[in-house]
Structure 1
Amino acid sequence: MRTQVSILSALLVAAAGALAGVAEAASPVGQVTHLSGTLIAKRADGSTKLFSTKSEVQEGDTLATEQETYARIKFADGGEVVLRPGSQLKVAAYAYDQAKPASDNIVLNMLKGGLRAVTGLVGKRNRDAVNFATTTATIGIRGTHFGALICQNDCGGVPTVTGKPPENGLHLDVADGAIVVKNAAGQQVISSGQFGFVQSATTPPVIVPPAQGIQVTMPTSISQNSSSGRGVGKAKEGECAVQ
């Protein structure tokens, strides 16, 4: 009888540990704070969920906005990302503990479309721990607010000074701070007020003149905080807005 009780106790302890592990793995790393349109999340286990405002984002999620959809996500460290229509972003890694800076590690894979991002606590205290990865280059953070747009024959509606669609590749703009853009061909620091471009994974990142730069801006309803008036990539008069 005692043996059976011991075995049962061991099984219960093991089950509790397994459940705790699952709960820990599924802990949210962010939340959808603003949404206009349809936002779909593909979980790490292959399941798909239709997100709404206040939906919780988990590590491993791939977020996809449909046409005419803008979505704003606030992460656990206070960082924020706004996605434009037709975008895909994967939360490849997200490790943050306010009491353990050494464990910080945030990797967001930008698969398609465009976004604006504002650094949270991790980017301020451990700047090498935050990276945005794309197929053409990796974007390292230096405590910043930046925009990025991937064009793959799908940027025909983006306004430019020439009236022609932007070149295929990765377009970047920095509103505050700086980013370090690098790939196998080279590395480039892009600072506040500057624009950058990476044509492919085999060509080096370069700075482009402001008149040729593409600035990613978002609708006020998504980008602005109602209480403070501050926002993430809010369009201003005279700016080249990505619509």
Structure 2
Amino acid sequence: MQRLFRLRTQAAPAALLRHFLMLLLLAAAGASAHAQSKVVGTVTHLSGVLSAKHADGKRVVLALKSSILEGDTLITEKETYTRVKFMDNAEIVLRPGSEIQVAKYLYDEQKPENDNVAINLVKGGLRAVTGLVGKRNHEAVNFNTPTATIGIRGTNFGALFCQNDCGGVPTTSGSTPQNGLHVDVSQGAVIVVNPGGQQVFQAGQFGFVANLNAPPVLIPPAQGVPVTMPPSISQNVPALTTSRTSSIDCVVQ
């Protein structure tokens, strides 16, 4: 009996050591995964509530100067506008009730051939201004939507995807935008492609894509849907925030 007791007491520290080492390995793996989620942008303007769902599924509330990680899905709540500046000086402004995923953001200053930017517009609307990647490597930047992919050509453009949720969006005609993808171009050009075909839209033009298999078509300006943003968000004025965001302390840094 004494011999058995000695064996058990000797085995206990070994089991504890194995358990401790396992915890260390798990912690190291978690730290490594977090380190791989690189910072690709920063929140520069915000009015309302903005949250991000990380690639690991964790959801956090963001504030001014919060970091955006590659793989993040950004979600704006009701009455929320936000502006994000990326590592190559590209900028995106989001409307209320919008959701985008920063699926890929690779900017290699020394090797332009490695550049790769993929933004997924899940719902809502945005305005985007081309950064260094888009200026030197057009093919490296794509905005994917449920009905088509938007390629850029040194651009300032707007995209709005409606799915029975665009009742409050202002239009030239005053009518509610129909379901589908609406595009407007302020500068440069975009090319919109899907299985139904492709179409280039130049500055001043408007486009529409009804669904994934319908070809992109030009829309007369009187029927177009410009994606407008408040001047305090879309222009280079002092960063805007509200009491709702200034009191947030669960912020990603």
Structure 1 residue aligned with 2:12: none
Equivalenced residues, count = 214
Q: Highest CA radius of gyration, 1 or 2?
A: 2
Given the alignment of the two structures, is residue 79 of structure 1 paired with residue 90 of structure 2, yes or no?
Answer: yes
Which runs of 5 or more structure 2 residues have no equivalent in the other structure? 1-24, 239-253
Alignment of 1:1-243 (within 5 A): 21-22=32-33, 24-226=35-237
Q: Secondary structure at the match of 2:135?
A: helix
1:24 CA drift (Å): 4.5
More helix by share: 2
1:96 CA drift (Å): 1.0
Separation in 1, partners of 2:66, 2:169: 30
Separation in 1, partners of 2:108, 2:174: 47
Structure 1 residue aligned with 2:8: none
Is the 2:172–2:225 Cα contact (8 Å) retained in structure 1? no
Is the 2:156–2:186 Cα contact (8 Å) retained in structure 1? yes
Tell which deviates more after alignment, 47-56 or 159-168: 159-168
1:144 maps to amino acid: T
Tell which deviates more after alignment, 162-171 or 64-73: 162-171
Separation in 2, partners of 1:19, 1:197: 44
Tell which deviates more after alignment, 199-208 or 91-100: 91-100
Separation in 2, partners of 1:191, 1:67: 31
Normalization by structure 1: what TM-score?
0.84
Is the 2:172–2:224 Cα contact (8 Å) retained in structure 1? no
1:3-61: per-residue Cα shift (whole Å, max 9, x none)?
Answer: xxxxxxxxxxx99x968854641220000000000001000001011000000001110
1:94 CA drift (Å): 1.0
- Change in Cα spacing, 1:100 to 1:208, as seen in structure 2 (3 Å) is same
> Sequence identity, in percent?
62
Q: Secondary structure at the match of 1:124?
A: helix
1:72 maps to amino acid: R
Separation in 1, partners of 2:44, 2:82: 8
- Change in Cα spacing, 1:19 to 1:157, as seen in structure 2 (3 Å) is closer
Separation in 2, partners of 1:62, 1:18: 23
Q: Secondary structure at the match of 2:169?
A: coil
Which runs of 5 or more structure 1 residues have no equivalent in the other structure? 1-13, 228-243
Separation in 2, partners of 1:163, 1:82: 23
